[in-house]
Amino acid sequence: MACAASALRRLCDPASEVSAHYLIDVSGGVCQLVAEEARAWHAGQGEWAGLDDINSRSIGIELDNRGSEPFSEPQMRALEALLRAIMERWDIPPDGVIGHSDMAPGRKQDPGLRFDWARLARQGLAGFAGGPRYDGAVSESAFVDRARARGFTAPCDPETLLATTRLRFAPWRSGPLVAADFDLHHGIETAGVESD
């Protein structure tokens, strides 16, 4: 949407058949639209860690951002505070915090290339804040197995899966599958710094 006000109108319009629990605007303002214990219609069809019907199992947070610009500092701080509170209230582990693109590869792209997942991971607010490095052979089937083990279980072709995991863990990387693509976590020392 062009701005938070238009997103709010759409999220509150029954004809749009879309909603979310929260909307955070660029200034850091948080608007609760649906009670956390109620179902919202933010995710659509998808799957994460072998579970479908994500709308019934999640709390949806929409961020006012077109995907082409960085997320503002006030917005990120508001998101971090909201995530901490929700994770504590509902006992959600860091790897239970996902983006729409994680659960609907190819169909959804948000929160997008400019979203700072590593920042959240460093604070324990997003998954895979560490883990063993992959030291096996680089193959498409091994990559698919590794990604599925990390939660990316929604049906999609290997190329889309690679693009989806890169969107989350290495948005700067392009080209064919490489060994670094197997490291599906955010390392503090490697976040955003790579020369692939």
The set of catalytic residues is: 62
> Any residues with CB less than 8 A from the CB of 139 and at least 6 apart, and which?
none
Q: What is the DSSP letter of 133?
A: P
Q: Which two tokens stand for residue 100?
A: 């729409």
Alpha helices by DSSP H, the chain: 4-11, 73-90, 100-103, 117-122, 140-149, 158-169
How far apart are the two ends of the chain, measured CA to CA in Å?
33
Residue with tokens 């992959």: 134
Query: What would you measure as the largest C-alpha separation in the chain, in angstroms?
Result: 50
